[in-house]
Amino acid sequence: MNDGQIPLGPGAEFETVRAMLSRWSGLAPGVGDDAALLDVPAGQRLVVSTDTSVENVHFKRAWLTPQEIAYRAAAAALSDLAAMGATPLGMVIALTLTEEWRAQIVLLADGFAAASRELGAPIVGGDLTAGSELSIGVTVLGAVKHALTRSGARAGDALWVTGTLGGPLLALRALENGTVLVPSQRGRFAHPIPRMREAQWLVAHGATSGIDCSDGVAADASHLAAASGAKIVLELDRLPLVAGATSEDAASSGEEYELIVTAPATLDRAAFEREFGLPITAIGQVEAVEIPAPGLETKNRGQRVPLPRGHSHFSG
């Protein structure tokens, strides 16, 4: 291969690899050795995360194009790097392919290429195996100087969320009802964009803890509360909504890939919105821990309400 790639030997597996590499011009430097060699910038730490998407568990073939399925799998994994405030160094893709999917490998490759190009993560390695359903495992590698973790929330911080919530839940609901998605529903469902630079900005502006919204803002905020040993109050009536979503929808909508962070209440929201053209909204606060325990409390118009259910994949 060209592109600094190492020539591959004969065999069906390598034919499939070659088909993918032919779509990854410049995005997969050095693929072909037994393992990838990466440099971590001096003074930074390596950040690693892995995420698996399985057909009929995480997505249905009828709902998305092959390119979108591949893009989404990579974006979901890269969102975990974003949540740590990290910059991508690369990703490793492990595919389990049926015969039918092997015939569509070029379309999957194009989806990975889109994620690699748009999110700045070179494809540095992978693995192929045959199986009875499509499974996409993406391991992401990144570097960070000041990591954003789940455990730093402090009493007095505000709870913030980027973007608007509820779109993926409305999209899923429409798909399950056999309705065609309108573009505003399809956008972040089919093509989520991890908030990579936004997280780095928030770290630089005093964010104390953070997580990406994969299980729903209520469930993910409760992860922050638990990890920080803090009490977090989530005010449902302050959630930023996409058109057509209720605050309950927004609280439980998963796979949003927005950022949920604790940061000073004085955060310069206007500066963030100017920089990224994206809203950021204060949706609650961190309070001093009382008896009985740290955790999440939800309020609606100042009244305590039961915790909304989190997102779970549709097959359970």
Binding site for Mg ion (CB under 5 A): 80, 212, 214
Q: How far is the CB of 159 from Mg ion (least distance, A)?
A: 16
Q: How far is the CB of 82 from Mg ion (least distance, A)?
A: 9
Which two three-digit tokens encode residue 280? Answer: 């950021």
Closer residue to Mg ion in complex, CB, 80/249: 80
Compute the distance between CA of residue 85 and CA of residue 40 in angstroms, rounded to an integer. 15
Contact 237, 300 (CB under 8 A): yes
Residue 49: strand pairing partners: 140
Closer residue to Mg ion in complex, CB, 80/248: 80
Look at the alpha carbons of 33, 35, 41, 43 in this order and tell me if their dihedral is positive or negative.
negative
Q: Determine how β-strand 295-300 pairs with β-strand 259-263.
A: unpaired
Angle, in degrees to the nearest 10, between helices 105-119 and 66-83: 30
Closer residue to Mg ion in complex, CB, 212/249: 212
Residue 118 CB-density burial (10 A; 0-12 exposed, 13-18 middle, 19+ buried): middle
Compute the distance between CA of residue 128 and CA of residue 69 in angstroms, rounded to an integer. 17
Q: How far is the CB of 76 from Mg ion (least distance, A)?
A: 9
Closer residue to Mg ion in complex, CB, 212/256: 212
Q: How far is the CB of 312 from Mg ion (least distance, A)?
A: 15
Q: How far is the CB of 285 from Mg ion (least distance, A)?
A: 22
Closer residue to Mg ion in complex, CB, 66/194: 194
Closer residue to Mg ion in complex, CB, 140/175: 140
Pick from 112, 24, 22, 101: nearest CA to 67: 112
For 299, half-sphere exposure in the C-beta direction (CA atoms, 13 angstrom radius) is 12
Q: Determine how β-strand 231-235 pairs with β-strand 280-287.
A: antiparallel
Q: How far is the CB of 67 from Mg ion (least distance, A)?
A: 23
